[in-house]
Amino acid sequence: MKAPRLILATVSMTLLFAGCSSNPSVQRISPDQVTDVSGYWNDTDANQTSQEMIGQMLSEPWLGNFEGVNGGKAPTVIVGGITNLSSEHISTSTFIDDMQRELINSGKVQFVAGKDQRSEVRDERKDQDLNAASGTRSAMGQEVGADFMMQGTINAIIDAAGDTLVKYYQVDLRLINMHNNLIVWTGQKKIKKVVQRSGSRF
């Protein structure tokens, strides 16, 4: 009766693996550890991009040039649009926030709040006008204007053949002078990955 046993075993295994749930296993690891699971854009890519961009931004001449003509004043930057032209939903805020934090903490660059944050703060300021004690109010019209706007794009080229996938990401950032539209700095980070997919599963 080998054949029926074999068939019964197949059914049992299939029901076991396909039909029933199991508890997930969780392991805590360092946020710096590289964890490539699917080949999609992940925290490691965001981290590498922000580190590279920060290094490029702080080491290139635009910063010294600005400080030179403005008596050592740190330039003020506003984050504009970072357009995602790739075929993945990529959260740009992860590496932009990392960049902002490092640059602000370096003391060499300052940022003004972006569009959405500003509007919330302005609403609060309006509210203060009506409801806060006069000595504690923040007056309207005292905001700092940005010297530069940071814009950028994320692009990806994907090449696939069989179970192999090559992913090439290119992140480009640029700083545009708000007074005269001159592009004073461009930064670039390229990431290339080869993803080998399994053609079979259990």
Residues found near another protein in the complex (CB under 8 A): 1-4, 7-8, 10-15, 17-21, 38, 83-89, 158, 160-161, 165, 197-202
Least distance from another protein to the Cβ atom of residue 15, Å: 6
Nearer to another protein, 44 or 84 (CB): 84
Nearer to another protein, 12 or 35 (CB): 12
Least distance from another protein to the Cβ atom of residue 12, Å: 7
Least distance from another protein to the Cβ atom of residue 11, Å: 5
Nearer to another protein, 103 or 154 (CB): 154
End-to-end distance of the chain based on CA atoms, in angstroms?
26
Query: How many residues can be counted in the chain?
Result: 202
Torsion region of 131: left, alpha or beta (phi above 0 gives left; psi -120 to 50 gives alpha): alpha
Least distance from another protein to the Cβ atom of residue 185, Å: 24
CB atoms within 10 A of CB 185: 19
Cβ–Cβ under 8 Å, residues 41 and 110: no
Least distance from another protein to the Cβ atom of residue 18, Å: 5
3-state secondary structure of 123: helix
Cβ–Cβ under 8 Å, residues 82 and 154: yes
Nearer to another protein, 132 or 160 (CB): 160
CB atoms within 10 A of CB 173: 23
Nearer to another protein, 130 or 161 (CB): 161
Q: Which amino acid is at 101?
A: R
